[in-house]
Chain A
Amino acid sequence: MSHSALSAVLADGPAVSPCLVLGDPTPDLSVEMARAAVGAGARLLEIEFPYSDPVADGPAIQAAVQRSLAGGTSTSRAFELLGRIAETCPGTPLNLLVYGNLVHRIGYECFAERAVAAGASTLLVTDIPLEESVPLRRACRRAGLGHVELAGPLTPAARLQRLAAVSSFVYLAGFQGVTGVRRGGFDAMLHRVAEVAEIVDVPLCLGFGLSERSQIVRAFGAGAGIAVVGSHLVRVVGDLYRTPSDADRLLSGYGAAVRRLISNG
């Protein structure tokens, strides 16, 4: 899917983007979870490729990545699962979260082409920042894949503008730190969202730390166009899934958790 699909989705108003790790807790179930999320109303999905050294991730996503790798989800397998998700969820833009070494290893061009072929719309490489992302962006452009840069609480205005100039959307980490659910500090974060929304002229995606509908509503009010919920949802997997007999419980629990983030009341 081309990244223009993203604009189409956002034209209908701000969207919650549930995050999942490919292969967590099993390859098949991660595909089913994507379907459950869309069934629960998700219009966007955030898809993380499992990687041995996720330095930007906190404990919940680290655990998910470990479950996935332990189940044998290689990058090739991850692309295959991504393709199945794209088939299962037509019209849902898929943003990939990938660590640089996975992309570097098979080559930026090759990775971008495989991502597009599998149905991704955009790509955020967590540890390839603006200065080093020139060849990556070129590869994305050639392949027709949207590119996304990460920004943080301390990113200065001039740099935000440079990030926005090369991004399909800017992914703002709401908190300074690794991914994970936060308690408190939301007022400062919302202030920051409003400030960044004024500076960047592409959609603003807020991630890191969100776990409640009320936070998301306020983030949308402050100018966020996308709200990613990662660790909170990934933790549902660890909580609900122990053995294969837990599959139904996991899918209904995950769907319910997504629904609570999307609908009021």
Chain B
Amino acid sequence: MSASPRPRQGAFGSFGGRFAPELLTPALEELETARREIVPTKAFRDELDREARAWVGRPTPLTRAPRFSARAGLETVFKREDLLHGGAHKANNVLGQALLARHMGKSRLIAETGAGQHGTATAMIAARFGMQAVIYMGEKDMERQAPNVRRMELCGAEVIPVTAGARTLKDAINEALRDWTASLSTTHYLLGTAAGPHPFPRLVRDFQAVIGREAKRQWRREFGGLPDVVVACVGGGSNAIGIFHAFVPEKSVRLVGVEPGGAGLDSGRHGATLVRGTPGLLHGARTMVLQDDEGQILEPHSISAGLDYPGVGPEHAHLQETGRARYVAATDEEALAAFEVLSATEGIVPAFEPSHALAFVLRARESGELPAGARVLLSLCGRGDKDLETYFALGRSPVRDRP
């Protein structure tokens, strides 16, 4: 085995880089220039802050969850990204990138979507800014997230079904990359997660980092000090890197990312890329991927369309390699149970994605994965309306914990 090739551009340790076809180089260089020259300016920051308040709905509150905490045996506080416009943390990123695209003179936005949250957010910002929006979505995801498809169309976006592969998120990204290769002079690819070729992992992280920055400030003010643990679900990893980023330098704070364990880690049907993957090149970055011995990418599985992805943002691979963050998995079944518990104990119906993070907290004390007395900050990154159809079709019984 040869030494791992260290990426030359945008590396996070041995991960990251720009492993994209040469035809995309002009677009990626243009974007990197814009990221360096436009994003730091006062005018851009002011515009971003103004829109974040007025249109996205920032800041979001921290919510104590006493009844959920009692179930978990761990004091848990939620960062309420489910309350953002569109119902998920995705709005933070689409606002930043769409503003940047406008500065770059691009009139057309393309995006991939899995659960439909990023596609919906893109459709909404495109409507607000009067830009054209084309959303690539796997056919399977269009079936299981039908309400979001209709929401995107309502906002004037064109949703293009992707029929290749497993017809999920990975295939949608492939198709968006193909579109962008041909359309880059007029089009910005509004990538929805902190993955992809440099500069996307940094660009997306920096727009999502507001989650952790805000939460840290709020925690200090409301509870004093710092949380002991920060927990978030990880698909591509934008919500997790968004809440982790401000806490990475705080060595006392444990960072835990929860991946989709699907039907179980040993079933082969899961999306636990960091827990069970190996280093590879996918969608422009060297990162952890689910692949066979010869490098063919495997089809992942998760009940959550938003986590159903065989790669992960390269910065998470780096945080895992250095030991700064720990990554675990929660199964479909655990996530569904947590979805029911949160709905019944706090009156918050979460999306299936953060239900994985909730599932980890519910089991962590008993399993010994977290110590007794740990105070947990959890990114509740999306609300569950989009998942209700899927949930009801399962015919499960809700939790009844009151007379």
Contacts and interface: CB of A to CB of B under 8 A. Distances in A.
Given A150-B23, A155-B22, A101 B295 contact: yes
Contacts of B7: 132
Task: Say which size band chain A's interface belongs to.
Answer: 35 or more
A215 interface: no
Interface string B261-304: 00000000000000000011111101001010111110000000
A55 B7 CA distance: 20
Contacts of B174: 53-55
Nearest to B165: A52
B22 A129 contact: yes
A132 B296 contact: no
Interface stretch (B55-63, B177-185, B342-350): B177-185
B17 A127 contact: no
A101 B8 CA distance: 17
Interface string A69-93: 1000011100000000000000000
Q: Of A104, A131, A153, A175, which is in contact with the most chain B CB atoms at under 10 Å from its CB?
A: A104
Interface in B2-53: 2, 5, 7-9, 17-23, 25-26
Q: Of B5, B9, B17, B280, which is in contact with the most chain A CB atoms at under 10 Å from its CB?
A: B5
A62 B163 CA distance: 12
Contacts of A129: 18-22, 25
Interface stretch (A27-35, A105-113, A242-250): A105-113
A117 to B, nearest CB: 17
Main secondary structure of the interface of B (DSSP, over half): mixed
A107 B278 CA distance: 13
Interface residues of B, number: 38
A178 B296 contact: no
A65 B104 CA distance: 36
Contact of B23 (A99, A152, A163): A152
Q: Of A52, A149, A175, which is in contact with the most chain B CB atoms at under 10 Å from its CB?
A: A52
Q: Of B8, B178, B282, which is in contact with the most chain A CB atoms at under 10 Å from its CB?
A: B178
B170 interface: yes
A103 B164 CA distance: 23
A84 to B, nearest CB: 19
B295 A55 contact: no
Contact of B295 (A105, A175, A176, A178): A105
Interface string A113-157: 000000000000011111110111001000000000111111100
A103 B281 CA distance: 9
A177 interface: yes
Q: Of A108, A132, A152, which is in contact with the most chain B CB atoms at under 10 Å from its CB?
A: A132
B393 interface: no
B1 interface: yes
A103 B280 CA distance: 10
Contact of B22 (A101, A109, A130): A130
A104 to B, nearest CB: 5
Contacts of A130: 22
A74 B291 CA distance: 13
A180 to B, nearest CB: 10
A159 to B, nearest CB: 8
Q: Of B286, B293, B295, which is in contact with the most chain A CB atoms at under 10 Å from its CB?
A: B295
B21 A74 contact: no
Interface string A28-54: 000000000000000000000001111
Contacts of A238: none
Contacts of B2: 107-110, 135, 139
Given A100-B281, A127-B281, A58 B178 contact: yes
A135 B281 CA distance: 14
Contacts of A163: 22
Contacts of B1: 107
A93 B81 CA distance: 57
Interface in A160-200: 163, 173, 175-178
A178 B180 CA distance: 10
Contacts of B170: 53
Contacts of B23: 56, 150, 152-154, 173, 176-177
A102 interface: yes
B291 A101 contact: yes
Contact of B181 (A107, A109, A134, A176): A176
A191 to B, nearest CB: 17
B380 to A, nearest CB: 32
A71 B32 CA distance: 41
B164 to A, nearest CB: 7
Contact of B9 (A56, A132, A177): A132
B294 A127 contact: no
Interface of B: 1-2, 5, 7-9, 17-23, 25-26, 164-165, 170, 174, 177-178, 181-182, 184, 279-284, 286, 289, 291, 293-297
Give 10 nearest A-B pairs by CB, closest first: A105-B295, A177-B182, A75-B294, A152-B23, A150-B22, A107-B2, A135-B5, A100-B281, A102-B295, A101-B281
20 contacts: A53-B165, A53-B283, A53-B297, A56-B21, A56-B178, A62-B164, A75-B295, A100-B19, A101-B281, A101-B282, A101-B297, A104-B5, A104-B286, A105-B295, A127-B20, A129-B20, A132-B9, A152-B22, A175-B182, A177-B178
Given A74-B296, A163-B22, 7 more contacts: A53-B170, A56-B178, A99-B281, A101-B281, A104-B5, A153-B23, A154-B23
